[in-house]
Amino acid sequence: MSRSTFPQRIDSFTELFDLPADKVAAALELQQLKQKTTLNNDEQNKISALSAQLQDYMITPETMNKLQDAIVEIETFFDGNVRQYILAKQKEWDTYVNDFADVGDWEPTGKYRRQNIIHYNGNLWLCTQDVVADSVHTPDKDSTHYRQMAYKGDKGDIGLNAVYKGEWSGGVNYKAGDAVSIRVDKPWNPIDVVFVAKKDNEGQMPSIDKASDYWFPYREMLVGTFDFEATTTPIHPDIHYIQLLD
Q: Looking at residue 204, which CATH number applies to its domain?
A: 3.30.160
Close Cβ partners of 235 (under 8 Å, ≥ 6 residues apart): 208, 209, 228, 241
Residue 9 lies in a domain: no
Domain boundary among the residues 60, 93, 126 is at: 93
Q: Predicted confidence band at 244 (pLDDT cuts at 50, 70, 90)?
A: low
- Best CA proximity match to 56, nearest among 12, 11, 19: 19
Residue 156 lies in a domain: no
Domain boundary among the residues 119, 150, 181 is at: 150
User: What domain range includes position 139?
Assistant: 102-150
What are the helix (H) ranges across 101-163?
none
Same domain membership, residue 236 and residue 171: yes
- For residue 137, what are the CA distances in angstroms to 13, 101, 120, 134, 141? 65, 21, 12, 6, 6
Q: Which amino acid, residue 191?
A: I
HSE toward the beta carbon, residue 149, CA cutoff 13 A? 15
Q: Which residue would you say has higher pLDDT here, 190 or 172?
A: 172
How many structural domains compose the chain?
A: 3
- pLDDT single digits (tens) 117-161: 999 988 899 999 999 999 888 999 999 999 988 876 655 444 445
What's residue 157's pLDDT? 41
Cα–Cα distance for residue pair 25/139, rounded to 1 Å: 87
Same domain membership, residue 122 and residue 84: no
Same domain membership, residue 43 and residue 78: yes
Residue 11 lies in a domain: no
Q: Are 204 and 195 in contact (CB under 8 A)?
A: no
Same domain membership, residue 43 and residue 76: yes
Please state, rounded to an integer, the average pLDDT across all residues of the chain: 83
Residue 6 lies in a domain: no
**pLDDT at residue 242 greater than cutoff 60:** no
Same domain membership, residue 87 and residue 53: yes
Same domain membership, residue 78 and residue 108: no
Same domain membership, residue 65 and residue 44: yes
pTM higher than 0.85: no
Cα torsion angle, 213, 218, 221, 222, sign: negative
Q: Are 193 and 182 in contact (CB under 8 A)?
A: yes
Q: Looking at residue 146, which CATH number applies to its domain?
A: 2.10.10.20
Domain boundary among the residues 93, 126, 142 is at: 93
Same domain membership, residue 235 and residue 191: yes
Residue 3 lies in a domain: no
Same domain membership, residue 173 and residue 135: no
Same domain membership, residue 174 and residue 141: no
Residue 36 lies in a domain: yes
- pLDDT single digits (tens) 93-118: 877 777 778 899 999 999 998 889 99
Same domain membership, residue 123 and residue 87: no
- pLDDT single digits (tens) 208-237: 778 889 998 876 555 556 666 666 666 666
Residue 157 lies in a domain: no
Q: Is 237 helix (H, G, I), strand (E, B) or coil?
A: coil
Q: How many CB atoms lie within 10 A of CB 4?
A: 21
